[in-house]
Amino acid sequence: MPHDATAAREPLAAAPPAGPVGERTSGLPSTPKAPATVLCAGVPVVATTPDDASAALVRLALRGEGADVHLCNAYTLALADRDPRLHRTLRAATLNFPDGQGVVWANRLVHRNVPPMRVYGPDLFLDVFRTGQEAGLRHYLLGSTPEVLEALGAELRARFPAARIVGSEAPPFRELTAGERQEQLDRIRSSRAHIVWLGLGTPKQDHEAARLAAAHPAVYVAVGAAFDFVSGNKAQAPLWMQRGGLEWLFRLCSEPRRLWRRVLWGHPRFIWAAYKGART
């Protein structure tokens, strides 16, 4: 089995430019040593710590380039193993972070010196809001429902009074028309957002992040259920379950009718995909 990780993609290590006129770039986290990427189930996943991941997103957002960032758990990678389109999207992504503890464990079985902690989407979301305040980072929230977005915005402003939320919208639960997509893109462009958070569900949010990154320069992060958790719309698993890799069990018990197929199919498929990837 392979053991050595490949070099990371450049955006994680590159220092940001001075930023647009009037932007505050003081207080940014210092540039860390470039981490590695490792292949998990055939998808390049960044082997990094949560703090470095948060710092990297802030710097990447201030660079003013288009980038798509994905939070990969076992289900995401299981889907990618079955769906060639999603696999291509993740293979071509700017960054893929290990959101699931199972992804971290699989990587540590195959590769040396991989950090033992995951980059958990809701925590990354909050960390970037916190660290991005001093840099004047502008955020756009895309996904969920108007009610969740209202609660989410209130919670974020209460926690981070200096955070700049420059737009939010809850798209309809269907495919957008070409005209609707253009109007959405125009709203994002007009907001001058540095970073757009997408809570549209997997794999839709992953495809949309890639599409928008190619159309307009900003950072688009497919952040999964972070909107529901941070807004209080859904309960999070206790920390001991998260750290023990049992968050899936908590969520299954909370939403059995919605998630049972995902768990019963997704976990075995991920294990098989990770095993196949380790042998190639």
Listed in sequence order, the residues at least 6 apart from 222 whose beta carbon sits closer than 8 Å to its beta carbon are 68, 69, 70, 71, 198, 200, 202, 205, 206, 208, 209
The alpha-carbon radius of gyration of the chain (Å, integer) is 18
Domain of 73 in residue numbering reads as: 34-231
**Taking every pair of C-alpha atoms in the chain, what is the biggest distance, in angstroms?**
52
Confirm whether 137 is domain-assigned. Answer: yes
pTM over 0.95: no
The pair phi, psi for residue 2, each rounded to 5°, is -70, 150
Residue 69 within a domain? yes
Q: Please indicate, yes or no, if residue 39 is contained in any of the structural domains.
A: yes
* Top-confidence residue, 25 or 190: 190
pLDDT over 60 (residue 24): no
Establish if 220 belongs to a structural domain.
yes
Dig out the tokens for 174 from the structure.
Answer: 């269907």
Q: Is residue 227 part of a domain?
A: yes
Is residue 142 one of the residues assigned to a domain? yes
Q: Find tokens 């955006």 and name the residue.
A: 11
Q: Is residue 242 part of a domain?
A: no
- Packed helices 204-215 and 84-91: angle between N→C axes, nearest 10 degrees: 50
Mean pLDDT rounded to a whole number for the chain: 86
pLDDT of residue 280: 65
- Per-residue pLDDT band for 216 (boundaries 50, 70, 90) equals very high
Say how many Å lie between the first and final Cα of the chain, rounded: 8
What are 40's strand-pairing partners?
43
CA angle 57, 63, 69 (to 5 degrees): 35
In a domain, 17, yes or no: no
| Whole-number Å distance between alpha carbons of 144 and 225 | 9
Number of folded domains that form the chain: 1
Lowest mean pLDDT among 21-30, 139-148, 198-207, 229-238: 21-30
